[in-house]
Amino acid sequence: MIARFILRRHFLVIAALAFASNWLRFEAYHRGYYSAATDCRFFPFELSLFLFGSMSYFWYDFLKRSNLLRPAVSACLTGLLVAMVVLHPRWVDIKPYQFYVLVALVLPALFDFTSRHKWDRWIGELSYPLYLVHWTILMLGLAVSTLPRMEGLGQSRTYPYLLIAISVVASIAINYLVVNPIDAWRQARIRRFPVHPVEPAISATAQPVTG
pLDDT tens digits, 107-127:
998 888 888 878 878 888 888
Task: Kindly state the average pLDDT of the residues 168-189.
Answer: 90
Residues 20-31 have pLDDT tens digits of 998 999 899 889
Residues 83-107: tens digit of each pLDDT: 988 888 888 888 888 888 888 889 9
For 32: left if phi > 0, alpha if psi spans -120 to 50, otherwise beta; the answer is left
Q: What is the pLDDT of residues 159-174, one digit of tens each?
A: 888 899 999 999 999 9
pLDDT band at 2 (very low <50, low <70, confident <90, very high): confident
What DSSP assignment string belongs to 60-107?
HHHHHHTT---HHHHHHHHHHHHHHHHH-HHHHHH-HHHHHHHHHHHH
What are the extents of the domains in the chain?
A: 1-116, 118-193
